[in-house]
Amino acid sequence: MSEKNNLLPSGLPRIESLEMRGIVKKFPGVLANDHVDFDVQAGEIHALLGENGAGKSTLMKILYGLYQPEEGEILLNGERIEIHSPTDSINHGIGMIHQHFMLVDNVTVAENVALGLKSSKGMRLDLDVVSARIRELADKYHLQVNPNAIISKLAVGERQRVEIVKALYRGAALLVLDEPTAVLTPQEVDDLFVIFKQMAADGHALIFISHKLNEIFALTHRVTVLRDGKLIGTVNTSDVTKADLANMMVGREVLLTRDRQPRETGEARLVLENVNAFNDDGQSVLKNISFEVRSGEIVGVAGVSGNGQRPLAEAIAGLQKVENGRVLMAGSDVTNFTPAQMFDTGLSYIPEERMHDGCIKNFSVAENAILQDYVRPPFSKGIFLNFKAIASHAQELIESFNVKTPSQETLIKNLSGGNIQKLILARELAREPHVLIAAQPTRGVDIGATEYIHGQLLRQRAAGLATLLISEDLDEVKAMSDRIVVLYGGEIMGIVKSDEVTIAQLGLMMAGERADEVFAA
Amino acid sequence: MGELTAMAIIIGIIHSGIRLATPYLFAALGETISQRSGVLNLGTEGIMLMGAFFGFYVTFVTGNPWLGVTAAAFIGVLMGLFMAVVSVTFQAEQGISGIGLSLFGLGVSSMLFKTMLGTVEGVKGFSELQFCITGTFCLANIPVIGDIFFNHSILTYAAFLLVPIVTYVLNKTTWGLKVRAVGQNPEAADSLGVSVNKMRYAAVMLGSALAGIAGASLSISLLGIFQENMTNGIGYIAVALVYFGGWAPLGVMLGALLFSSVNALQLWVQVLSLPIPSDVAVMLPYLLTIVALAIPFRRSLQPAALTKPYERGEN
């Protein structure tokens, strides 16, 4: 191969191979990485798969210089290198696209790219030079990026491209992609995958962190699976099935499909009529929202994050003022009831910010189990709490919902995300609600707990519960819901039966096209 | 006669408005730099007092006001270093540590005043510049304009000159970009190899140097004396001016001018014994501060990481 063929489109040399050997990283009480081996080659997209807490992010933070390992070595093109800081890693041609965008949002694209770099004009910023190089890179990699745009004005898909340009600008030959699709619409994901595939074809090495099995099959050449900090194995993506990977990830058989039996729906339990709401800045966040949720039905709410899901849940739960329109529970008007009044009407609510709105971090499991009902018998009598009743209630929830906790006196913050969510779900369902709002019930929850939570939601559906399931995970919405409400910019783009719509059609609606346009096409 | 007097009063108010803006401007521009990096420095009042004392004392002993200003800047840097150690490295609550620093500055400057000077002395600090082009023709003598613009101490001109300089440094230099980035999204800066804490130390120390000079501008330029607690809240108002000015030097300057003009006005209200109780007049600037801070739209301009210490790997 000639020298020229070893260069990337950016004009920089490739990383032929990168190897991490025997990496050990300890945190207090946790072995986050336990002798993990990992390698990636030029031209390859290598998936790093594992549940939350499996050690993926730790391993990559070590590669990027954010953490120092206790043991192990990193070899670049066969030679041992030391990485003590992000600067070291950048200098070796390693770039990272973080799960949460690492962009300063009140400045321009060019300023974000120039941040921390030496300027050709000494102390003065050389934004014209930077902009020219951004345009050049954007051109070579087919990335649409305007150097003069302010970040806060860009859509998430565009911000993702800025992150890629930022890494390329710094000479990244190897890119670590940490769950890069979490906030994108399906179409944006497709566009992004085209870019990634082209980059790999051009000689970049890509590490793709994800727990979405579909994406791993759509994109990657090899998969390395971690579980509890240990390496489970590295396999060729084409040699395995989804079930194989799920089993490697969880360590047991996992049910990937949800068995949602057809069911007759009952009476309308929750009805919204032309609900309008505004945020603190006076901007409209819900526009003429009307739909109903019936007994025995799960209604999914799909949409890209920030398109009105949260105000919708909060408007029903009594946490967001409804300016216009009505909310009805079992036929009676409950518009702008307080949260306590709403609970009395038979509403249960699993808020999306589990640690912030769903529980009190420094309270015990038992205390968290009675957060709404502590004033009622049998948990209290007059001004006194009945600890015996509280304890037996907590024990019942822990056992029947399979919550893994050392004891019911354990502070809830010490439980894993999945177990906290199971407890919250248990608490809300134990109240025998008529209507359940479940906002992002499985976000950041491991596959095992997700499987369990989904099973519970379907059981409650069979028992006649009316559920509003708000989720950014389109596969979840599609699999779990009978009908799907698609939100965009606080408006309903359409209400569709989930068996009669494709993911692609949902994606178009999530991007702002109305159902009639989508189905006409 | 009435007209002449009115004219003279208006000129007087504008002149003292510009003059009185000096300490506010130095302190508020310093605070702007500090806050843009994400550190709320409520210690400004105490730093100003220390700057006022050391600036005065060094001038008093050496007779050289430039040495006084240098000493004030130096003590400001030291106080800023202290603030940074406490609030950046040890991540103390910034509001509390700043108030502590202010009380520290008040106490130490008062004690030093009592032990080293004992009584109120005067110094010949910076005199008003006359801008004489020839021996007899001075810009300061031009009617109206001369009185308003060409009859100030060099520190006043320096304070106003700092407005475009700080604007330029924040917006057009690599250093300024780093300061803005660590104040807005420290994680992003860290991920690109920018040391968040180093930038914050630098911004707080530079800002505090300006606060020290602000104090000196009071003691060796405007008044020519040192008194205990002579800043009398200017440092806190400077912090408010940063919010008022929307974290931009130009806005801060307009705020400082508005504030010092109202201040000048209230002085004249007292001098002319107008039928307004002097207490009400004295209240005016502070009322203005509260009203200005209640305007909500500016909050969106606030650096997102203001008052938040940075620690890596929190997610």
| pLDDT digit string, tens, across residues B273-311 | 778 787 887 788 788 878 877 776 667 788 999 999 998
Chain A residues touching B304 at Cβ < 8 A: 105-106
Residue ranges of B 178-207 with Cβ closer than 8 A to chain A? 178, 180-181, 184-185, 187-194
B165: domain CATH number?
A: 1.10.3470
Does the pLDDT value for residue B96 go beyond 70? Answer: yes
Q: Which residues of B touch A125 (CB under 8 A)?
A: 172-174, 176-177
In this predicted structure, what is the pLDDT of residue A482?
95
Number of domains in chain B: 1
* Residue B152, Ramachandran bin (φ over 0: left; ψ between -120 and 50: alpha; else beta): beta
Any idea what DSSP says for residue A382?
Answer: T
For residue A117, the chain B residue with the least C-alpha distance is B174
**High-pLDDT (> 70) share of chain B, %:** 97
Q: How confident is the model at residue B80 (pLDDT cuts 50, 70, 90)?
A: very high
Instruction: Please give the backbone phi and psi of residue A407, each rounded to the nearest 5 degrees, phi first.
Output: -160, 170
Q: Which of A61, A116, A166 sits opposite B178 (nearest CB)?
A: A116
Q: Is residue B306 part of a domain?
A: no
Closest B-chain CA to A124: B173
Inter-chain residue contact B174 with A103, CB threshold 8 Å: no
| Distance (Å) from the alpha carbon of B201 to chain A's nearest alpha carbon | 16
Closest CA to B79 of B247, B253, B214, B228: B214
Q: Convert the pLDDT of each residue in B237-276 to its tens digit.
A: 999 999 989 999 999 999 999 889 888 888 887 777 778 7
Q: What would the mean pLDDT of B85-102 be, rounded to a whole number?
A: 94
What is the tens place of the pLDDT at every residue in B207-233?
999 999 999 999 999 999 999 999 989
CA distance A58 to chain B (A): 10
The predicted model scores a pTM of 0.81
Residue (of A131, A217, A219) closest to A175 by Cα position = A219
CB contact under 8 Å between A119 and B174, yes or no, is yes
Q: Which residue of B has its CA nearest to A103?
A: B188
pLDDT < 50 positions in chain A = 1-4
Query: What pLDDT, on a 0 to 100 scale, did the predictor assign at position B313?
Result: 63
Instruction: Average the pLDDT over B83-92 and give the result.
Output: 95
Write b or e for each residue in A223-258: b if 16 or more Cβ atoms lie within 10 A of its Cβ, otherwise e: bbbbbebebbeebebeebeeeebbbbbbeeebeeee
> Shortest CB distance from B175 goes to which of A90, A123, A166?
A123
CA A88 – CA A82 distance, rounded (Å): 8
Helix axes B44-62, B234-244, angle to 10 degrees: 130
Q: How far apart are CA A445 and CA A455, in angstroms?
A: 14
A269-358+433-520 carries CATH number 3.40.718.10: no
Q: How far is B292 from chain A (nearest CA, A)?
A: 19
Q: Which residues of A touch B177 (CB under 8 A)?
A: 107, 111, 114-115, 125
Q: Which residues contact A450 (CB under 8 A, 6 or more apart)?
A: A418, A442
The reply to whether residue B187 touches residue A100, judged by beta carbons under 8 angstroms, is: yes
- The upper half-sphere exposure of residue B50, i.e. CA atoms within 13 Å in the direction of its Cβ, equals 27
Binary contact (B174, A106; C-beta < 8 A): no
**Would strands A222-227 and A45-49 be described as parallel, antiparallel, or unpaired?**
parallel
The predicted complex's ipTM stands at: 0.87
Residues of A in contact with B192 (CB under 8 A): 86, 90, 102, 115-116, 166, 170
Cβ neighbourhood burial of A326 (10 Å; 0-12, 13-18, 19+): middle
A102 chain-B contacts, CB cut-off 8 A = 185, 187-188, 191-192
B132 within a domain of the structure (yes/no): no
- Residues of B within 8 A of A163 (CB-CB) are none
Q: Do B313 and A61 touch (CB under 8 A)?
A: yes
Domain residue ranges in chain A: 3-250, 269-358+433-520
What is the span of the domain harbouring residue B289? 10-122+141-301
Q: Identify the CATH class of A3-250.
A: alpha beta
Tell me which chain B residues have a C-beta less than 8 angstroms from the C-beta of A104: 180-181, 184-185, 188-189
A104–B185 C-beta distance less than 8 A = yes
Residue A98: its chain B contacts at CB < 8 A?
A: 187, 191
Q: Find, among B87, B20, B62, B42, the residue nearest to B265 by Cα.
A: B20
Position of tokens 């409400």? A485
**Cβ distance of A115 and B194 shorter than 8 Å:** yes
Residues with Cβ within 8 Å of A42's Cβ and at least 6 positions away in sequence, in order, are A14, A15, A16, A17, A173, A203, A204, A205
pLDDT-derived band at B315 (thresholds 50, 70, 90) equals very low
Gap from B205 CA to chain A (nearest CA, Å): 19
